[in-house]
Amino acid sequence: MREIGGEGLTVIAGPCTVESREMLLETAECVRDAGAGFLRGGAFKPRTSPRSFQGLGHAALPLLAEARELTGLPVVTEALDVRDVEAVAEVADVVQVGARNMQNYPLLTELGRAGRPVLLKRGISATLDELLMAAEYVTTEGNPDVILCERGIRTFETSYRFTLDLMAVPVLKERTELPVIVDPSHAAGRRELVEPLSLAAAAVGADGVMVEVHPDPDNAVCDGRQSLNCEGFAGYVNRLEGMMATA
């Protein structure tokens, strides 16, 4: 398994959600070819509206396994519900806990016993203390592999989807040995901001970034506005690597 928190910047990329086998495999190959280290893709989606697409659910899990097989990329996917942890942990190399579930303590406890690294996203109004204590729910169960993810918090500012709190990165690093990554896509809500925020994340010491990529963002089922297309992602990775090399 690849490392997060070692040398260099880990790039996790893929669609917001698994829409179909074809789109997932196409995206997986495009992010692998561009140099991503991990494939992301939600099977179970925490959507603000119950009327929005909720993900393919269990049907997406074999597709993620196939994408992993095809590309060799380890898979990051979210467990939304404690009842799905076992099934998700079977295909996921890293199990994501979404922002809305950061304080779902039964879920965190279950993931502490699931034998997979956990990518824990900061809740939109969670303090760093609360994030660190949420991580402790996992580690207390004997699972030391938690990756913290800053993904934007809610502030009074309405010009972007969330406010990316980059100060969280160096401050978390003062307080924990756990790797810290940044998700600029969900913070920004639009793709133009993904690259500058990623560069800034790298500059403040993030161990990785998680970005949304879709082969046809205009027709994405969710979060198309913040998704890079395959070509855009390839250029993005090149520029990120260029900056890391000269830093």
Interface with ligand PEP by CB under 6 A: which residues?
16, 42, 46, 98-100, 121, 151, 186
C-beta nearest to Mn ion: residue: 16
Alpha helices in the chain (DSSP H): 21-34, 61-71, 85-91, 105-112, 128-139, 168-175, 184-188, 194-203, 230-246
Residue 229 and residue 216: Cα distance in Å, rounded?
6
Stretch of 7-15, 80-88, 121-129, 217-225 lying at the interface with Mn ion (CB under 5 A): 217-225
Name the residue nearer to ligand PEP (CB basis): 5 or 46.
46
Cβ-based nearer residue to ligand PEP, 100 or 173: 100
Q: Is residue 223 near Mn ion by the rule CB under 5 A?
A: yes
The secondary structure of the chain in percent helix, strand, coil, rounded to multiples of 5, reads 45, 15, 40
Instruction: Work out what residue 98 binds among Mn ion, ligand PEP, none; the CB cut-off runs from 5 to 8 Å by kind.
Output: ligand PEP
Count, residues near Mn ion per rule CB under 5 A: 2
d(CA 119, CA 138): 11
CB nearer to ligand PEP: give 16 or 30.
16
Are the beta carbons of 181 and 4 closer than 8 angstroms?
yes
Residues 7-66 that bind Mn ion (CB under 5 A): 16
- With CB atoms as reference, the residue minimizing the distance to ligand PEP is 98
Closest to ligand PEP by CB, 124 or 178: 124
Report the C-alpha gap between 42 and 195 in whole angstroms. 22
Amino acid at 100: R
Which residues of this chain interact with Mn ion, rule CB under 5 A? 16, 223
